[in-house]
């Protein structure tokens, strides 16, 4: 029960953490601007954050580095497809096919 309440609290906090950055300068108008150096540095935040989530997810199996595993192979396939083709569905189809195919082939 406690858990359910904290889940909605998380949603509200994340909602604020989305709407406030989005509305920030649009609402404030031109009265205030971020220092240009900070603006330039912040451009790297999304790429760094996404990679910090994705890389451990595909490289670690049970907490240790496992360079040969189905998730990593599927991720590499998805990356190659996303680089080569613009079709938004293809990385999902190929990535999932590689993951499920390897899981079916490899025991355990």
Q: Is 50 in the site for other proteins (CB under 8 A)?
A: yes
Binding mask 62-91 for other proteins (x = CB under 8 A): -x-x-----x--xx--xx--xx----xx-x
Crossing angle of helices 70-84 and 90-105, in 10° steps, is 160
d(CA 55, CA 27): 36
Which ranges in 29-69 belong to alpha helices (H)? 36-42, 45-59
Minimum CB distance to other proteins, residue 72 (Å): 11
> CB neighbours of 96 closer than 8 A, spacing ≥ 6?
74
Residues contributing to the site for other proteins (CB under 8 A) = 4, 6-15, 17-19, 21-30, 33-34, 39-60, 63, 65, 71, 74-75, 78-79, 82-83, 88-89, 91-92, 95-96, 99-100, 103
């Amino acid at each position: 029960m406690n858990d359910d309440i904290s889940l909605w609290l998380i949603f509200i906090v994340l909602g604020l953490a989305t709407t406030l950055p989005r509305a920030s300068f649009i609402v404030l108008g031109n009265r205030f601007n971020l220092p240009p150096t900070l603006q330039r540095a912040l451009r790297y935040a999304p790429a760094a954050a996404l990679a910090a989530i994705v890389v451990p997810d595909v490289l670690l199996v049970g907490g240790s580095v496992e360079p040969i595993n189905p998730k990593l192979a599927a991720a590499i396939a998805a990356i190659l497809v996303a680089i080569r083709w613009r079709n938004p569905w293809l990385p999902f189809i190929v990535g999932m096919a590689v993951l499920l195919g390897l899981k079916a082939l490899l025991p355990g």
